[in-house]
Chains A and B, each alone.
Chain A
């Protein structure tokens, strides 16, 4: 289950953060997202493999914790998407697919003429769409 999703601007300013848990652990999840930003920076500054993957936006698993796994995605405009999930056995392809859909939702949201780039995303449509994507995606594995 996806518990938290965040969009972070290129100066590490939060643009959108949404958690999907019943419990009152928003702060904990925000903390996890915050920590993951350092990992993103690290990945970007020390790319492990260079060469063909110059335009690769998917950063893969950032770090696992006991209960969560954190995935990252970095657009070419340096906007970061962070995903926190409780599923511990996840296929990369599913996460990629999720991020691709999330990215297109994000694109539509920033194309709104009333959205100011670099400011928080306040669009209700975006929130709705994200919720739908999160609901429709399940990282089920056969094992």
Chain B
């Protein structure tokens, strides 16, 4: 029998290697600061963070699948649950909750009450347009793209802008059918 799909990432989280949270937070802070200095435009920084996240996501998904023992998800709802409960726990140490489903089941929100990336952070007035955690949306987008789901990930709520939680809206654009470009005789 196939192993049951883990409903929480606690067990995996206990086994993966971890780094000090402050080192992680400060490193990410330094990256964002440097991007702001280099690119000057807040919009550009958002884009760059998203791109960096995407590049992380397309690699991270393999590690996720290898270590988490999740089986194929039957629908997008299950995918979202797995990301929120297992994925976030495994790599970020926090769990998200999934809500705000639309009727077709293609659009939902991942809500993070706690986010280790933003410890200590306070946005200055000059960076009000900055999505500080934009790297996360890129990661989710990149990871899902590698398992043949084209998604659009946007921030709806951001604690750094005075909201009460972080809300990441994930919208399934289309499911790309798996292609087999290989020919049997080669």
Contact = CB atoms under 8 A, between A and B. Distances in A.
B127 A113 contact: no
A108 B124 contact: no
B122 interface: yes
A94 B123 CA distance: 34
B26 interface: yes
Bin chain A's interface residue count: 10 to 19
Nearest to B22: A111
Interface string B104-126: 00000000000000011111100
Contacts of B26: 111, 113
Interface in A65-118: 108-109, 111-114
Interface string A3-27: 0000000000000000000000000
Contacts of A113: 26, 28-30, 32-33, 120-121
A124 B22 contact: no
A112 B28 CA distance: 11
A123 B22 contact: no
A131 interface: no
B125 to A, nearest CB: 9
B117 to A, nearest CB: 10
Interface in B16-44: 22, 25-26, 28-30, 32-33
Contacts, number: 31
A127 to B, nearest CB: 11
Given A113-B29, A113-B33, A125 B22 contact: no
Nearest to B25: A111
Contacts of B30: 113
B49 to A, nearest CB: 13
A114 B122 contact: yes
Contacts of A138: none
Nearest to A114: B124
Interface string A115-136: 0000000111100000000000
Contacts of A109: 120
A126 to B, nearest CB: 8
Contacts of A124: 122
Interface in B119-138: 119-124, 127
Contacts of B127: 114
B120 A111 contact: yes
Nearest to B33: A113
Contacts of A125: 122
Contacts of A112: 29, 120-122
B22 to A, nearest CB: 7
Contacts of B22: 111
5 contacts: A111-B25, A111-B26, A111-B120, A113-B121, A114-B124
Interface of B: 22, 25-26, 28-30, 32-33, 119-124, 127
Given A111-B120, A114-B29, A124-B122, 7 more contacts: A111-B26, A112-B121, A112-B122, A113-B28, A114-B33, A122-B124, A123-B122
